[in-house]
A and B are shown apart, each in its own frame.
Chain A
Amino acid sequence: MTKLTRRQAFGTVAGAAAGIAVAGIAVASANATPDKAGRFTTAATGTAAGTKHHHTAVPAPFSEVFEGRRIQGIPGDANAKSEAHGQHHTSATGYRVLIDGRELHVMQKPDSSWSSVMNHYQTFPDPHTAARAAVTSLMGADLVPHTPTA
């Protein structure tokens, strides 16, 4: 849906903020390990508030088939320009996460925990955990290009 017309109100901010958003997007995914009941056994992390050692360790790459989906974690800005959806995401970490080749937008919070657009009200210890959680949430659906500032 590109014709969001009314928002003079919303639109102003959208335009102004677009540049900032692109500069700050960290693309990652996370996975959690569901138990037999389908619940996640990997506890979401939530570190102490205000800790400042953020964006220190770059999470390791990963590539696996999880619940029938190929999930990949790709560290580093060297990969930030590859295909996905033709968007270029650069960030402090440049970490990208793909589910079946489609980009899952992930973010790293100042407390170094991770979140994704699929599971926005949870945090995860790393992109791999966030990717697995997203697979579980998708229930077989695909990710769509995420262009909130478009």
Chain B
Amino acid sequence: MTVRKNQANLTAAEKKAFVDAVLEVKRIGVYDEFVAAHRLRFALDMNTGVYVGHFGPSFLPWHRKFLIDFENELQKIDASVSIPYWDWTADNTVASSVWAPDLLGGTGRPLDDQVMDGPFAYSAGKWPINIQVDSRPFLARNLAYRVPTLPSRAEVDAALAIPTYDSAPFRDGSAGFRATLEGSAGYLSMHNRVHSWVWGQMESSVSPNDPVFWLHHSFVDKLWADWHALHPTSAEYLPAGGTVDVIDLNETMPPWPNTTPQSMLDHTPFYTYA
């Protein structure tokens, strides 16, 4: 059974196993398929106004499925591996263990934001950026540059306290747990703020180029599970049906032919959180 753990609690061996599996999925070309899929989904969400992966209620189940698929690829390499989560409310500085050379490496250098240490540094030779929006072939970050701070635990708790999953018009800025967690207010809050805090590829539509994408979204996914446990009588997902340009509870979420929000409500058949 897959157990997703806080990255801060991983052993050295667990970190190495995770990193090695990610590098291998990259080497065989599968990793970049996930980057391309995310870029495509983001473009479609933005350009068509049909919000599937972002800006709508299916933000959470879409990314849950996206992570499950990625985790499955990792486990084809090493069955012991799971996606750790990064609690950015607690490990909220550039000195956090998540940025150490034995996990993701640190911030970029001033010249060009290029990450210079860790297994994903360009100089290590195993992490070319192939799916791009700009010409940089290297992983780039500038931690705490765009916004100096990460969301606080109090902000997260305030979002978790909202009893309603989502509400009309079911897009960015809607009232409810989902839109609050995804982040609005010029986007520089909550989930969106974390992307901007990391900067580099994490700020762009090819954000999965940075492996921290998975640890970030694993924590977002855990918060969804936490919300569900806190509000057992709330509708698990809204809207229930008949909503134009929005994925309803039992509608399929592209690109998967058979995945609905309903099928993603219970994460425990796939993994649990430690």
Binding site for B on A (CB under 8 A): 1, 3-7, 9-14, 16-17, 20-21, 23-26, 38-40, 43-46, 48-50, 91, 105, 107, 109-111, 113, 115, 117-123, 137-144, 146, 148-149
Contacts and interface: CB of A to CB of B under 8 A. Distances in A.
B256 A9 contact: yes
Contacts of B168: 50
Given A49-B173, A110-B171, A115-B46, A121 B37 contact: no
A20 B44 CA distance: 8
Given A20-B48, A120-B207, A49 B186 contact: no
Contact of A121 (B49, B113, B192): B192
Contact of A21 (B44, B111, B173): B44
Interface string B38-65: 0110111011111000010000000000
Interface in B159-203: 168-169, 171-175, 179, 183-188, 192-193, 195-196, 199, 203
Contacts of A13: 40, 254-255
Contact of B33 (A4, A115, A139, A146): A4
Given A110-B49, A138-B134, A144-B134, 4 more contacts: A9-B257, A17-B40, A109-B55, A139-B140
Interface in B223-274: 254-257
Chief secondary structure at chain A's binding surface: loop
Interface of B: 29-30, 32-33, 36-37, 39-40, 42-44, 46-50, 55, 111-113, 130-136, 140, 145-146, 168-169, 171-175, 179, 183-188, 192-193, 195-196, 199, 203-205, 207, 254-257
B138 to A, nearest CB: 10
A117 B255 contact: no
Given A44-B187, A122-B196, A140-B112, A50 B256 contact: no
B257 A12 contact: yes
B186 A148 contact: no
B3 to A, nearest CB: 26
B187 A123 contact: yes
26 contacts: A1-B36, A6-B33, A10-B37, A11-B255, A12-B257, A24-B48, A45-B186, A46-B186, A48-B173, A49-B173, A50-B169, A91-B47, A109-B55, A111-B172, A111-B173, A121-B187, A121-B192, A121-B193, A121-B207, A137-B134, A139-B140, A141-B112, A142-B134, A144-B132, A148-B42, A148-B43
